[in-house]
Each structure stands twice: as C-alpha cells, then as structure tokens.
Amino acid sequence: MTEAIPHRASHPALDRHLTTLVADVTGVHGAVVASMDGFALAQRGGQAGTVDRLAAMTSSMLALATALGRELAIGALETLILDAERGSVLMLAVPGEPPSLLMVACDDAYVMGTVLWHARRCVRGIATAATSPD
C-alpha cells in the first residue's frame, strides 16, 4: 500500500528508492522518510493513516539517540535498531541539506544484515537524489 504525502512534494528518486527497498527485501513491510522536524516526506508499505505518527516518532527517537551519543561521546548517530517480539524497526539518519530520516519496519521474516545493507544503500540513494535535479 502506498500513501500520498500531503505535506511536501516527493522527489521521484526518493519514491523509487523506497519502493525498491520494500519490494525487494524479504521481511521489510514498510518504510517512511521523515524530515528532522517530524514531517513525512514519503512512505511505502505499512498501514494507511500512520505515516504522520511514524514520522514524528522516528524524529523523536533519533533525537533521543543523538543526545545519548553526544552524552557518551561516541560520535554522530547513524543507525538505531529496535527489536520487538514480532519484528524490528531500523531508523537511519540520511545526510544532506536538510538532513532527513529513514524508518524501516520489518516483520519476523527479516535477516538483519540484509535489511541493514539495503537500508544503508537506500539512504545513500536518497541522499544523492536530494542533491540532484529531477
């Protein structure tokens, strides 16, 4: 399921990278790209009507993780992984101006290394798309 994002126009390459991630990686059932201030920029998969809440939660979680990284002096945040009973959530910082965030929701059929590799590849693609014209 794909949901239109009313807040901001999405870049076609952003949509392509998310579509590839959700369609090609076993266990990934949804992905959201959010602005640092918690607004949804794009979504693929997942449940309709949740994109705004997921974007806001992703922004908040990564802000907390960034503060923790600063407190521990371990450097800039790259990836946050939440493991749950029936799946996992990966949250990754997307570099650029302005920076953004990628949230990937996985069911219990995922292989963490595979999802992480593809998610990082998706982040690189999103970052590149943000700096290039349509």
**Per-residue confidence of the chain (134 residues) as pLDDT tens digits?**
344 343 344 568 888 999 999 999 999 999 999 998 999 999 998 776 788 888 999 888 888 888 888 999 998 878 999 999 999 999 999 988 888 999 999 999 999 999 999 999 999 999 988 776 65
Provide the phi-psi class of 85: left if phi over 0, else alpha when psi is between -120 and 50, else beta. alpha
Q: Which ranges constitute the DSSP H helices of the chain?
A: 12-24, 51-71, 112-131
Q: Global pTM?
A: 0.84
